[in-house]
Amino acid sequence: MFGFFKKKESKAVVSEEEPLTEEQKLVLQQQITEKQAQLAEADLAMEVQAKLHEELGLIYAELNDEQAITELEKSLELKLTMGDGYKKLMSLYNQKRAEAARNGDDAGIEKYMNKMDDMRQIAKKLMISREN
């Protein structure tokens, strides 16, 4: 009658992102080169470095490049934020955890669960600092 006891249908969520064209990949590679050149400049403030690493990480993520995680982690090492880089890194960790689960890789599952826990601690730390 009300559907309380009905079995919920599971809906598979399938990402149907269009693959990048060669032209789009070329533009992203050019952006990477520009960001890396900016990072090579001397005397950049830590906040600027963090932002550049975040931008690099997001570009690498668009390219499905493993370097995305490295760049996003560098960004958070330099400056803790909960911006787009934080969200993307959490998503990438979750993808890696799911991949490890599919492969039966218990060590990989634990590694990425711990990394996700670390991310939650960052969020908690930032929320506490905002309250004060």
Cα separations in angstroms, 112 against 33, 66, 99, 123: 29, 14, 10, 17
Q: What is the pLDDT of residues 57-97, one digit of tens each?
A: 999 999 999 999 999 999 999 999 999 999 999 999 999 99
* Residue range 26-51: mean pLDDT, rounded: 95
What residue segments make up the domains of the chain, in order of their start? 22-131
pLDDT tens-digit map of 1-30? 455 555 444 444 444 578 999 999 999 999
pLDDT at res. 13: 40
- The predicted model scores a pTM of 0.82
- CA distance linking residue 69 with residue 110, whole number of Å: 17
- DSSP assigned state of 104: T
What pLDDT does 30 receive?
97
Q: What is the mean pLDDT of the chain?
A: 89
